[in-house]
């Protein structure tokens, strides 16, 4: 039995998944915010409760907001800040008395979609979560590529490639640099661009709806957004050449991206033909917890 745990900022979710991808059992508990010890207890209790109900012991994979540093074994880059610097990779296996696999939430997302989601069957998959930020993950032959530094797929803090007038040096990013892909492609990035061109302060969903309804300023902002996404993804295609790129997160609900972006990326891909497909995630919000379960394949 495979158990997947998604350690989120507001809730901790646990599932068991069958070999055919069916979820047999699902449980959620609120995240004990700002308390590492209580978080550990909550995860251990959740796994034990699932195993009691299922009547068997399982493998445990955990999706976390951040990475476990291979250098120190401690959590880093987590937006659930109470986990940062804690030895989660040591404590959970000890408390659960078994090895535990960890991956960051974008990697879990990519794995879930690669195993039995929108990218099923593709050898190389790039998964992107675009919402308040822009996370990414690379999966090759149903295995997450972690990388030597645990940051494979983190394209959001590369600079936007082939910058046009007005895009360089670009907006400041929280990472300390300017012009990062995330500052253009995140939801707040789209809003900033729309406001700068004279639009009211709306979120990405509302801007997309206005563009759909024929609003010229929103339409132009969305067109710039699509062309930037095309350049940013062309940079990924030129490095890992995925068969499928899967989009998740709030902005993946903008329908026209799937048609427009692949038409726009061709001039930037170093190939006469581009067969890479751009698709919307199949598992929605469940991808993180499903991918955590699939960490044991």
The CA-based diameter of the chain, rounded to the nearest angstrom, is 62
Instruction: Determine the interface stretch with Zn ion among 100-108, 152-160, 193-201, 281-289 (rule: CB under 5 A).
Output: 152-160
What minimum distance in Å lies between the beta carbon of 69 and Zn ion? 19
Q: Helix (H, G, I), strand (E, B), or coil: what is residue 180? A: strand
Name which position in 60, 83, 130, 173 contacts Zn ion (CB under 5 A): 173
To the nearest 5 percent, what fractions of the chain are helix, strand and coil?
A: 40, 20, 35
Check binding of 160 to Zn ion (CB under 5 A): no
Q: Measure the CA–CA gap between 126 and 138, rounded to whole angstroms.
A: 5
User: Looking at the DSSP assignment, which residues form a beta bridge with residue 124?
Assistant: 140
- Shortest Cβ 189–Zn ion spacing (Å): 11
| Range in contact with Zn ion (rule: CB under 5 A) among 7-15, 29-37, 178-186, 246-254 | 178-186
CB of 195 to Zn ion, least distance (A): 20
Candidates 26, 143, 157, 280; binder of Zn ion (CB under 5 A) is 157
- Residues 6 or more apart whose CB falls under 8 angstroms from that of 56 comprise 1
Among 5, 62, 68, 180, binds Zn ion (CB under 5 A): 180
CB of 174 to Zn ion, least distance (A): 7
Nearest to 33 by CA among 24, 25, 42: 42
CA distance readout (Å), 258 to 92, 149, 241: 40, 31, 18
Q: Is 277 in the site for Zn ion (CB under 5 A)?
A: no
Could you tell me the smallest distance in angstroms from the CB atom of residue 1 to Zn ion?
Answer: 40
Taking contact as CB under 5 A, which single stretch among the options 30-38, 59-67, 153-161, 289-297 is the one that binds Zn ion?
153-161
User: Does 175 sit near Zn ion (CB under 5 A)?
Assistant: yes
Count interface residues toward Zn ion (CB under 5 A).
Answer: 4
Question: Could you give the CA distance from residue 132 to residue 249 in angstroms, rounded to a whole number?
Answer: 9
* Residue placing its CB nearer to Zn ion in the complex, 175 or 216: 175
For 216, the enclosing helix (H) or strand (E) is: helix 216-240
Residue ranges that bind Zn ion, judged by CB under 5 A: 157, 173, 175, 180
């Amino acid at each position: 039995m495979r158990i997947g745990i998604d350690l989120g900022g507001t809730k901790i979710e646990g599932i068991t998944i069958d070999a055919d991808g069916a979820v047999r059992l699902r449980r959620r508990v609120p995240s004990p915010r700002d308390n590492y010890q209580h978080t550990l207890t909550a995860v251990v209790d959740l796994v034990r409760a699932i195993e009691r109900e299922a009547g068997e012991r399982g493998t445990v994979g955990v999706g976390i907001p951040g990475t476990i540093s291979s250098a120190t074994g401690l959590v880093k880059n987590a937006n659930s800040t109470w986990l940062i610097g804690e030895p989660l990779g040591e404590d959970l296996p000890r408390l659960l008395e078994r090895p535990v696999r960890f991956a960051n939430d974008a990697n879990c997302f990519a794995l879930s979609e690669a195993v039995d989601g929108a990218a099923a069957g593709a050898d190389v998959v790039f998964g992107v979560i675009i919402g308040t930020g822009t996370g990414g993950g690379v999966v090759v032959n149903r295995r997450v590529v972690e990388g030597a530094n645990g940051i494979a797929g983190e394209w959001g803090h590369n600079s936007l490639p082939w910058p046009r007038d007005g895009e360089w040096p670009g907006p400041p990013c929280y990472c300390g640099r300017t012009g990062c892909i995330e500052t253009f492609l995140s939801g707040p990035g789209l809003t900033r661009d729309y406001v700068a061109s004279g639009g009211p302060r709306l979120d990405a969903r509302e801007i997309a709806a206005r563009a759909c309804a024929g609003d010229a300023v929103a339409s132009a902002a969305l067109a710039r957004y699509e062309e930037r996404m095309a350049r940013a993804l062309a940079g990924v295609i030129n490095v890992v050449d995925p068969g499928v790129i899967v989009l998740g997160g709030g902005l993946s609900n903008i329908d026209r991206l799937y048609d427009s972006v692949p038409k726009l990326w061709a001039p930037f891909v170093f190939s006469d033909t581009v067969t890479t497909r751009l698709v919307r995630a199949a598992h929605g919000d469940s991808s993180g917890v499903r991918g955590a379960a699939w960490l044991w394949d």
